[in-house]
Structure 1
């Protein structure tokens, strides 16, 4: 079976990070809130880039692998819809200014890429060592689906979550925003801003969502 060079994956990840940094810097230079039209255009650009990468997979690994990538992409894109509503709730809870939301999301994506990369690597290692792990993944997806349809979901209070308790216990946190900065110098010490706390909560919530989405991709 043909294998993909490690240099290919290094180049791929480097390209993703460069694109994210360009997106972040370009938005910062705009100096204004992102409009719905601009957001739709950026979304379209990312979709086009993903489809172009799918063509690269087709060229390098053939149509079967390209179809697997496209299927996984569509599944992940569909599962990401609920992430949007959670992120809206997080921004509303922390009262994140619109101008700062984009920066939190971009760095949240960077953190999510790293964490999901680690989880995917661990998942691959588990599948290679223990074939039965796929059945556990499948059972987990069934339980998640059952909970989604039949278990009443209580409103989330981020202020009482274990993430917030850990942040308050470990880090000094200010109640005031300092532009788009994640930390600020207050009373002769560095403190985290609410934007940094929102970023931490976003990454943790994305990690929780990954527990559902990664097994779905492995099922392909």
Structure 2
């Protein structure tokens, strides 16, 4: 555990709250987010994470700074799979592009809360039962197996537990009502498809937490390090999605790189647990080496993907939603569906403000 001053926790909380407020104000009107805007916002989120990391280096120390940087980069790399799932969910529910940022904003808020709960529980368990790290390692090895077998592509948004639960709680209408999540019809509250999309995204994040929580706990068991690194990685997910939505299939070697990273982190967990429970003679993998390996694997995976493009006949094997939500194809898709993001979809919407 690191000696983290209370004021640094407060700086983190204020930074996150102000960032979310600014982001919400900047996107208060539903609109299609282009690559240029997404790239600018992605730079803002990465810049915030880097600046905060520098503060951690200066205030808490070099070891804490390395752990934060490694954990942030690890979570950032693992979150790439989230982007494919976002595209799959948006394609499944035929979400107009102008509404997607509003959905992801709520998804981020939910992820910040649930990741905080899971990470706090993970830190508490690891601090008392070090042997649980062997279980976490097994989870990561199984995740690696699924990635290599490409089993994660079987995710069905419409059949997720959260969406089924929502349909039991209240009826879900077929048409969108601008950016509204719940409307009143015939004297009763009815969910719009946008609320079902939020439920599906939150359910997907809970699934991904099974991988990311054990992975980040291999880097550090300090609550401050693991949560702040996760939070800054999660905050940048929306901008990263809109920036890469049409390019996801080009990084076809990235999944193999993620599998290698998860395997490496699994080995790190086993060595860490063995060092603490079996013998101190068992070496541990230092944070600097972990950071170096992650950066190297990501660089090689991205470089190979760009240098060796995927054959065109296989490019469509990833969820077609990635293409259907990309800037180039979405207008045609929305036109064919009749999903105009501007006019209301039924008489109830005509009397409501756009962002009510």
TM-score by length of structure 1 reads 0.93
- The CA deviation at 1:54 is 0.2
- The CA deviation at 1:110 is 0.7
CA deviation profile, 1:30-70 (whole Å, cap 9, x unmatched): x5311111001100110000000001101111111101100
Cα distance in 2 for residues equivalent to 1:28 and 1:59: 36
CA deviation profile, 1:46-98 (whole Å, cap 9, x unmatched): 00000000011011111111011001111111111110010011011111111
Partner residue of 1:28?
28
- The CA deviation at 1:151 is 5.9
Cα distance in 2 for residues equivalent to 1:151 and 1:159: 20
Q: Which has more radius of gyration?
A: 2
Return 5+ residue gaps in structure 2 as ranges.
220-356
The size of the alignment, in residue pairs, is: 219
Return 5+ residue gaps in structure 1 as ranges.
none
Partner residue of 1:156?
155
Bigger CA drift: 203-212 or 164-173?
A: 164-173
Partner residue of 2:316?
none
Bigger CA drift: 42-51 or 151-160?
A: 151-160
Partner residue of 1:17?
17
- The CA deviation at 1:155 is 3.4
Cα distance in 2 for residues equivalent to 1:5 and 1:199: 35
Answer whether contact 2:170 2:189 (CA < 8 A) is retained: no
Partner residue of 1:209?
208
SS in 2 for 1:33: coil
Answer whether contact 1:176 1:193 (CA < 8 A) is retained: yes
TM-score by length of structure 2 reads 0.59
- The CA deviation at 1:5 is 3.4
Cα distance in 1 for residues equivalent to 2:71 and 2:170: 38
SS in 2 for 1:28: coil
Cα distance in 2 for residues equivalent to 1:22 and 1:207: 26
Cα distance in 1 for residues equivalent to 2:88 and 2:149: 22
Does 2:35 align with 1:48? no
- The CA deviation at 1:154 is 5.6
- The CA deviation at 1:2 is 4.8
Answer whether contact 1:171 1:192 (CA < 8 A) is retained: yes
Cα distance in 2 for residues equivalent to 1:112 and 1:7: 24
Over the aligned positions, Cα root-mean-square deviation in angstroms equals 1.7
Cα distance in 2 for residues equivalent to 1:32 and 1:18: 22
Answer whether contact 1:17 1:110 (CA < 8 A) is retained: no
- The CA deviation at 1:153 is 4.9
Q: How does 1:137-216 map to 2 (within 5 A)?
A: 137-150=136-149, 152-153=151-152, 155-216=154-215
- The CA deviation at 1:8 is 2.9
Cα distance in 2 for residues equivalent to 1:205 and 1:57: 31
Cα distance in 1 for residues equivalent to 2:146 and 2:90: 25
- The CA deviation at 1:111 is 0.4
